[in-house]
Amino acid sequence: MRVLSGIQPTGNLHLGNYLGAIRNWVKMQDEMDADSQCFFFLADMHSITVHEAREQRIRNVRDMAAALVAAGIDPDRSVLFNQARVPAHAELCWLLNGTARIGWLNRMTQFKDKAGKDREGASVGLFVYPVLQAADILAYNATHVPVGEDQKQHLELARDIAAKFNSDFGVDLFTLPDPIIPKESARIMSLRDGSAKMSKSDPSDMSRINLTDDDDAIMAKVKKAKSDQEMLPETAAGLAGRPEASNLVGILATLTARTPDAVCAEFAGKGFGAFKPALGEVLVETLRPIRQRFLELRTDDAALDAILDKGAAKAAAAAEPTLRAAYDAMGLMR
C-alpha cells in the first residue's frame, strides 16, 4: 500500500480541512503496516494558481507543515514535504501533458468553478492543474489517495492518464490509484449556512472554526451557529430538511466516533440550547492540543524547513525510478 495525498498551503486551516482531510491522513498513517508507506505533501506548486506575495507563500508552506505535524502527521513515519522541493512533480507533469487531452481537462468541474465566467482570462496553470495532480500521484505509484469528494474527478483523470500512457508507450509503468473518500464528514458545512461548505474563503469568520481559534472563540462560534427552534429527534432521519441541525449533529458524531443516530438518541427531545455547549466542549478539547502544538511549532522556521528538506530527499528518491522510466519509455534521454 502506498498512500499519498496533498493539500494546498493557502491560508488558515479550519475544521472542514481537519475532519474532511487531515484527520483521515493521520488515521491512515497510524494504521500502516511495515510494508506500507505514506506520502503527504504541501501542494505549493498548485497554489501558484492563486496570486500570493512571496513572503506570504513562504509563511503558508511553513504554517501548513506545522499544522500537519500538530495534527499528528509524524515526519519520521510519513514522508512530509512540499512539491517545490521535489522537481520530479514538475518534470513528470510536463511529460504527462503529452498524454492528457484537452477534451478531458475541459470536463473538469473544478476548473469551471474556479475560472468562473472569465475562462479566457484564467491562467494556463489553472487549466492543467489536474495534470500536475496526476503527476503527484503517479510519480510515486500511489495506490490509495485519501481526498474529499470534490477531488474524485481529478482522481479519475489521473487513472485515465496512467492508462493511456501505459498503453501509448506499451509499458506497465503507472499504477492506477484508488481514491479513499470518507463516508462521514466528507463535507462540513458553514456554521452560518447549512447549504454552503465550511470554507476559508467565506467572508464571515463566524462561519468556520479555525485551527487557531482559542477556546473562547470556539465556544462563541458554536453558540452563535445557525440552528433551528425544533428539538433534536430520536433518530437522524428526523433531521431531514434541517441542514444546520444535521451539520451540527454530524460534527459531534464525527468527533466522538459515533453515528448521527447515536448522537440523536442522546439528545432526543432537547433543544440546541442543551446541544451546543456539549458540542462546543468536545470541539474545544479536541482542538486545544492541536492548536497548542501548532503555535509552538510555527515559531521555529528552521526546524520546519529541516523537516521539509528531509521529507523532500526521501520523496525525490522514491519518485526517481518512475520518473526515469517515464523519460525512457518516451525515448527522452536525460
What gap in Å lies between CA 257 and CA 84, rounded to an integer? 36
Least distance to ligand TRP, CB of residue 113, Å: 12
Name the helix (H) or strand (E) containing 4.
Answer: strand 2-7
Q: What is the four-CA torsion angle of 313, 52, 155, 95, rounded to 10 degrees?
A: -60
What gap in Å lies between CA 221 and CA 208, rounded to an integer? 8
Closer to ligand AMP by Cβ: residue 110 or 322: 110
Return the one option of ligand TRP, ligand AMP, none that residue 187 interacts with (CB less than 5 to 8 A, by type): ligand AMP
Binding residue for ligand AMP, selected from 20, 75, 177, 280, defined by CB under 6 A: 20
E-only strand ranges, 257-297: none
- x/- mask, ligand AMP, residues 21-60, rule CB under 6 A, reads x---------------------------------------
Catalytic residue among 117, 152, 197, 276, which?
Answer: 197
Least distance to ligand TRP, CB of residue 150, Å: 7
Cα separations in angstroms, 150 against 2, 43, 87, 141: 21, 16, 26, 22
Annotation marks residue 224 as catalytic: no
What gap in Å lies between CA 222 and CA 248, rounded to an integer? 9
CA proximity to 14, closest of 147, 188, 151, 180? 188
CB 251 within 8 A of CB 279: yes
Show contacts with ligand TRP in window 120-179 (CB under 6 A).
Answer: 133, 136-137, 145, 147, 151
Cα separations in angstroms, 325 against 88, 266, 310, 329: 12, 57, 24, 6
Return the one option of ligand TRP, ligand AMP, none that residue 264 interacts with (CB less than 5 to 8 A, by type): none
Closer to ligand AMP by Cβ: residue 130 or 233: 130
When asked if residue 8 is in the footprint of ligand TRP (CB under 6 A), the reply is: yes
CB 318 within 8 A of CB 79: yes
DSSP 167-185: HHTT---PPPPEEE--STT
- x/- mask, ligand AMP, residues 154-193, rule CB under 6 A, reads ---------------------------------xx-----
Show contacts with ligand AMP in window 186-245 (CB under 6 A).
Answer: 187-188, 197-200
When asked if residue 60 is in the footprint of ligand TRP (CB under 6 A), the reply is: no
Catalytic residue among 114, 164, 223, 310, which?
Answer: 114
- x/- mask, ligand TRP, residues 29-58, rule CB under 6 A, reads --------------x--x------------
Three-state SS for 139?
A: coil
- Please give the distance of CA 177 from its chain centroid, rounded to a whole number: 16
Strand pairing report for 79-82 and 2-7? unpaired
Q: Which residues bind ligand AMP (CB under 6 A)?
A: 7-8, 16-17, 20-21, 147-148, 150, 187-188, 197-200
Q: Which residues bind ligand TRP (CB under 6 A)?
A: 4-8, 43, 46, 133, 136-137, 145, 147, 151
